[in-house]
Structure 1
Amino acid sequence: MFFSFWNSVVFIIICLILFIRFDTSDSGANNLHLFDANNAAEMFGNDVFFEILDPEVLRYTYRARPAKDFGVTFNETFYQREALLVPVEPPDSCGWPKNAHEIEGNIALVERGDCSFLSKTIRAQEVGAIAVIIADRRLVVDDDFYIEMIDDKTERTPQIPAAFLLGINGHMIRKTLKELDMRYAVVNIPLNITFVSFHEMNQPPWMIW
């Protein structure tokens, strides 16, 4: 009976050890899944990414936040390789652009302000742009990660995708193109970052995500 008693005790102890080990292991796996920054797609959710191919000095990966409730999406139906990203003149794109002929068939780069995000998107569509990227005009940006491009309730429905370029990227792109006397940048959009590690992303040196 003594032997049987200790067999039972040993059995219970082994079960407890296995249970604790299993529970801890499972918890650790969940923590890694939630907090590991290796998978960029999990970190950035629905944000869209594109890369500039030319000019060389701007050859980085850029992050933009799609419009929340208007326009179409940047997905497999919108897959542009070596497309032209053209800064609109004047930059706000609230009126008819002076360089409308350069925007037609390309992606419009627009500055935030003076009219709604939806109005800028509608104007770009009227000019013939295939998409619009809206960026902040300021060099110092402290609130853009909280900005959402929403419908202005004017019951207009654009048929092109629109996104807000995070950080000072818009300023840097426009400034660099002007310095190089270039009318556009060459881009690939969107990029599939599903299997890209965060540390492998070619981020602009002026950005901290």
Structure 2
Amino acid sequence: MQVQGIKLLGSCLILVLVNIGISGGIGGEHSLTFKSLRSYFDTSIGTDVFFEIIYPPELEYTYKLRPAKDFGAPFNASFLEEGIPLVPTDPPHGCQIAKNAKELKGRIALVERGDCSFFAKSIMAEEAGAKAVIIADYHSSSIEESITNSLWAEYYYIEMIRDDTIPSTKTVNIPAGFLLGKNGKMIRQTLKRLNQPFALINIPVNLTYTSLDKLHQPPWLFW
């Protein structure tokens, strides 16, 4: 009887851990969510979008994006770019007219999180002529890096939602996605160290039937 009780308690604990979730909101910018532990064992791709850097060699890995939740165009078969430049914006936060707008036109903008909403950043990137925008954490004091449990930190996501402070007549017509903080930091730092103005990427990469353990993942990030 005692053994059965212990087994039942263990089963309940597993169910709680598998279904645990944390969510909340910060202003009009975004809501915060953790993936459930079920995701650690799920080999499906789900709603995430993947891209790969093909140059420079130091960054040649596959990266995972979380698409914007309720604005922007989708990353799907109608948006398929091979060897397109991923260009860091100037200024990095992308909250004003880009000084390097000419370099962004027809390319993909890499923007730092902060100073304004994701929606506002996406609008500015589109107005600069970018085909898509990728927004990432960069500062070492980011929420992701402040989480003490490193396992949870790698599965920390931000849902990009529309900013209610911007008139409803404003729309975003290009794809937009959020990149895990450590990836954005490493991409920017590596490009700066190599004195490279951009990276070349393929986006999206079709990995529907590829398990996560088969992906060429960045060595600094555990999926």
CA distance in 2, matches of 1:119, 1:197: 35
Q: What corresponds to 2:156 in structure 1? A: 145
Report % sequence identity: 53
Q: What corresponds to 1:39 in structure 2? A: 43
Q: Which amino acid aligns with 1:101?
A: K
Q: Which amino acid aligns with 1:186?
A: L
Deviation at 1:200, TM superposition (A): 0.9
Q: Note the alpha carbon deviations across 1:126-170, whole angstroms, 9 max, x for none.
A: 000000000002236246824110001221211000000013100
Superposition TM-score, scaled by structure 1 size: 0.78
Q: What corresponds to 2:119 in structure 1? A: 118
Unaligned runs of 5+ in 1: 1-33
Q: Retained in 2: the 8 A contact 1:106–1:130? A: yes
Q: Retained in 1: the 8 A contact 2:49–2:204? A: yes
Which 10-residue stretch deviates more, 136-145 or 94-103? 136-145
Q: Which amino acid aligns with 1:124?
A: A
CA distance in 1, matches of 2:157, 2:204: 22
CA RMSD of aligned residues (A): 1.8
Instruction: Identify if the C-alpha distance between structure 1 residues 121 and 62 changes in structure 2 by more than 3 Å, giving closer, same or farther.
Output: same
Is 1:92–2:93 an aligned residue pair? yes
CA distance in 1, matches of 2:203, 2:58: 18
Deviation at 1:37, TM superposition (A): 3.8
**After TM superposition, what 4+ stretches of structure 1 lie above 3 angstroms from structure 2?**
34-38
Q: What corresponds to 2:136 in structure 1? A: 135
Q: Retained in 2: the 8 A contact 1:71–1:157? A: yes
Q: What corresponds to 1:57 in structure 2? A: 58
Q: Retained in 2: the 8 A contact 1:108–1:129? A: yes
Instruction: Identify if the C-alpha distance between structure 1 residues 67 and 35 changes in structure 2 by more than 3 Å, giving closer, same or farther.
Output: closer
Between structures 1 and 2, the one with greater strand share: 2
Bigger Rg, which one:
1
CA distance in 2, matches of 1:129, 1:181: 22
Unaligned runs of 5+ in 2: 1-37, 148-152
